Structures are given as structure tokens and as C-alpha cells.
A and B are shown apart, each in its own frame.
Chain A
Amino acid sequence: QVQLQESGPGLVKPSETLSLTCSVSGGSINAYYWSWIRQPPGKGLEWIGYIYYSGSTNYNPSLKSRVTISIDTSKKQFSLKLSSVTAADTAIYYCSENDSSGPFDIWGQGTMVTVSS
């Protein structure tokens, strides 16, 4: 059973870049779509984007100009970078995986990131 674990700083200063990593264990990273999803406090789920194991990416249009998702198959990790953050980027960030139109059946536990000086 695949397990996912997010890691990264819990506090980021405004205008800086948020960087998170998701480690994949218990299965192969060489398949499926690997996504980042976030949830601001008191709000709903927002898909940030995905990376296919081959390296192709697709991003939420509302965040596209600030988002980069990359993958390191040798380390079984994929990463999120979100630039020029503001308080509106404060959220729980989840990593997950799915198969094209399939469901997100495996989620990381989530990591809270606060944007504050």
C-alpha cells in the first residue's frame, strides 16, 4: 500500500517561495499522476496541480504563474514550489495520487504552512 508523507517548512515569509516535498513509500512512483492539493483554514479543497511520472505537468490556472511541480523518481519524491506567497497561501497542503480521471484514494497526512513575517 502506497503511503505519502509531506515535509517542509511550516512558516514562510510573504513574497518568498514555499517549498514542500512528498515522499512516496510502499509502492512505485513510476506510474500515476502525483498531485498537490491545499485547504486554507475554514475553506474547501483546492487542486494546485499534478505531475505525471514522466515529468509532464498541469496546473490550476489560478496558480499557474507561481507554481512549479517537479519529480525525482530516483528518490521517490515529488515537490511543490509556490513563489511570491501571501497570507492567502496559508493552508494545509496535501499530496496525493490518482490515475487520470480516477479518484484520489491515497493522501498524505497534510502539512500546515503559514505565511507570515
Chain B
Amino acid sequence: SYVLTQPPSVSVAPGKTASITCGGNNIGGKSVHWYQERPGQAPVLVIYYDYDRPSGIPERFSGSNSGDTATLTISRVEAGDEADYYCQVWDSSSDHVVFGGGTKLTVL
């Protein structure tokens, strides 16, 4: 089965840029979606189809996907960005949904 690998944690100072990676075999050939999950709340879609942003998501959130790594980038990080972030793909070979293990973003 397809596996997505994320770092357990990423720390960043306010105002700096955070990069959260999502590794998978030839993930560049798949569409990657990213979710933000704050404590006690349902996940919220922040990036879809690798780099598109839903309405209401700040332009500070961006995504890229190539080779074996997809990346969620958050520019000018704010305290309110502190949350868990998950990547997700649809594995077309099995028609299964796969989530990464999640990354806890800490704003220092």
C-alpha cells in the first residue's frame, strides 16, 4: 500500500517561513491535498491539487509537488498557524485514500 511520510514536528519563529514535507514514491505523479487541524476542531483544507488554495485561506499558504516530495509552505508564520498538518493523496492503483502521519507545527 502507498505510504506518505511526514516529519512529526516542525518549529518556526513568528514571521519566518515554515516548510512541511510529505514524502511518497513518485508523489509528484499524484495530486496532494493538505489539511490544517487545530485542537478540538475538524480538519480544514488549506491546499488542494498540489498548490491551489480554497477561498478564505491566506496567500501565505502555498504548496508544491515534484519527484518524491510534496511541500506545504507557510510564509510569515503567525501564532494562529500553530496546528497539526496532514497531507493526503488518492492512490489510484487501489482506489484508497492515504493520509500522512501528520506534522505538528510549533510557533516559537
Question: Which A residues contact B (CB, under 8 angstroms)?
Answer: 35, 37, 44-47, 50, 58, 60-61, 94, 98, 100-105, 107-110
Contact = CB atoms under 8 A, between A and B. Distances in A.
Contacts of A104: 33, 35, 43, 45, 88
B95 interface: yes
Interface residues of B, number: 27
Interface of B: 1, 30-31, 33, 35, 37, 42-45, 48-49, 54, 84, 86, 88-90, 92, 95-102
The secondary-structure label for the interface of chain A is loop
Contacts of A60: 96
A53 to B, nearest CB: 15
Contacts of A109: 42
Contacts of B49: 102-103
Nearest to A50: B97
